[in-house]
Amino acid sequence: MESKDRIIVALDVDAKIAFVLVKRLKDRVGCFKFGIDLMNAGLTTKDLKDEGILKKGGPKIFWDAKLNELPRKVETAVVALQNDGVDYITVMAAGGCDMMFAATDIAFSTEIVAVTVPTWLGPENVFLTFGTSSRAKVLQFAKDAVLCGVDFLVCSPNEVEFLRSRQEVSHLTIMTPGIRLPGDDPGDQKRLNTPYNAIKAGADFLVIGSSIYDAEDPVQAVNEFAKEIEKGLDDRED
């Protein structure tokens, strides 16, 4: 896998800007993440197809639905999205095992991704919300994900090395938001780190948003991230 294929661009922008970015970056990154901003704007998978984005051999589509509902409702949502060709669909691990089972049992052409502790929660808020540390809660959610047949996990870059050290969850494919180059504005992120550190710790994919879409030159920004990913891969202790 090339370094660029490990980059997931989070399109937390309006639809017009999103489509411009996709056209500029579609041959330079491996995946695009569509989240709540575009969903609230009414974007559908049909729109992606009409723009030529959802097509075989093109960048993968990460539909960040963060499903957290009754199991039967989650099942219905997964069926609809996978029938439209979405590659990744997120569910909230906090929704419990019955819900995650409902998603994995019905998923045959898409990957279910379990979101653990959001990266916008700092240590104090993590404790207030979950009554424990982020590492402990992420580990619990990771174990639940494995039990439910989920192979992909979202956590902050600061929990990656810890998860890789735990045999029962070390095989999971890890996607990490909260990624910034040194000196970048952290924005809303509280548990964040650099692309080099995240990849060196064992992350498989990096979810990167504002550092790319707010950059003066998004193509140059992607190239910078790819270089840092390459350095991190070279320095891994596999």
Q: CB under 8 Å to 194, separation ≥6 — which residues?
A: 157, 179, 180, 181, 182, 228
Q: Which of 70, 120, 123 shows the shortest CA–CA distance to 100?
A: 70
Q: Are 174 and 198 in contact (CB under 8 A)?
A: no
Catalytic residue selected from 26, 66, 143, 231: 66
* Residue partners of 2: CB distance under 8 A and separation at least 6: none
Reduced to 3 states, what is the DSSP secondary structure of residue 64?
strand
Active site residue 4: no
179 forms bridges with which residues in the sheet?
A: 193
Dihedral angle of Cα 230, 151, 135, 115, to the nearest 10 degrees: 100
Phi-psi region of 42 (alpha: psi -120 to 50; beta: other; left: phi over 0): left
Q: Which residues pair with 232 in a beta bridge?
A: none
Torsion angle, CA of 144/80/88/120, rounded to 10 degrees?
Answer: -70
Distance of CA 124 to the CA centre of its chain: 23
The residues that are catalytic are: 66
